[in-house]
A and B are shown apart, each in its own frame.
Chain A
Amino acid sequence: DAGITQSPRHKVTETGTPVTLRCHQTENHRYMYWYRQDPGHGLRLIHYSYGVKDTDKGEVSDGYSVSRSKTEDFLLTLESATSSQTSVYFCAISVGGVNTEAFFGQGTRLTVV
């Protein structure tokens, strides 16, 4: 199994509070991604990183920010959580380039009340 760890695995937070989700990899892969998965929408890309301090937006980036200060860690922050951000969040990694095979963490279930 690819060495990807997401934390926390479950979180309940209140509307308006900031939340940070962490993704840690031991594979030294260049690319890291944050997706959210919701019924009827599948996996939607929030942000991705192609190297330390190199990040870019995905299709649903509003309300989210990311940081990657080390190769192994990719943080996703919800600046002010809203109920619409209740979802399951997945981190994924890939070698990058023409090889888009991705390896996923186990997910974080976030509930915003």
Chain B
Amino acid sequence: TQLLEQSPQFLSIQEGENLTVYCNSSSVFSSLQWYRQEPGEGPVLLVTVVTGGEVKKLKRLTFQFGDARKDSSLHITAAQPGDTGLYLCAGRSSGGSYIPTFGRGTSLIVHP
């Protein structure tokens, strides 16, 4: 059973389009991270959200943590080819071990 479910699994869009990817769980998370992984590289931390309802922005990327801290979303405005990569969410469930749990990721391709 995957603790963190990400959707969609794959996304192929044209440059300039907007998109949203989702990270859902039945468990409450004390914190949640988003990472981006480019081909041949390790995942790179983008952001951490901690408070229910929290919204963080990183240039054209907007991250939101659900009010109940069970879900999160990543919205990209006006996607660019440089946004291509695998987007992973991860976190520690409340009361869980101090080991991050990862979703399986959303693979995004942005075509010029």
Contact = CB atoms under 8 A, between A and B. Distances in A.
Contact of A98 (B42, B43, B45, B92): B92
A98 B98 contact: yes
B75 interface: no
Contact of A100 (B33, B42, B44, B88): B33
A105 B42 contact: yes
Contact of B98 (A43, A96, A106): A96
Contact of A42 (B45, B48, B99, B102): B102
A104 B98 contact: no
A107 B41 contact: yes
Interface string B95-110: 0001110111100000
A96 B103 CA distance: 19
Interface SS of A by simple majority = strand
Given A42-B88, A105-B42, A107-B42, A100 B102 contact: no
A103 B42 CA distance: 9
B110 to A, nearest CB: 20
A101 B91 CA distance: 8
Interface of B: 30-31, 33, 40-45, 48, 88, 90-92, 98-100, 102-105
Given A43-B43, A43-B102, 14 more contacts: A42-B102, A42-B103, A42-B104, A45-B99, A48-B99, A98-B92, A98-B98, A100-B100, A102-B43, A102-B45, A104-B44, A105-B42, A107-B40, A107-B41
**Top 3 closest pairs, chain A to chain B, by CB:** A104-B42, A42-B104, A100-B100
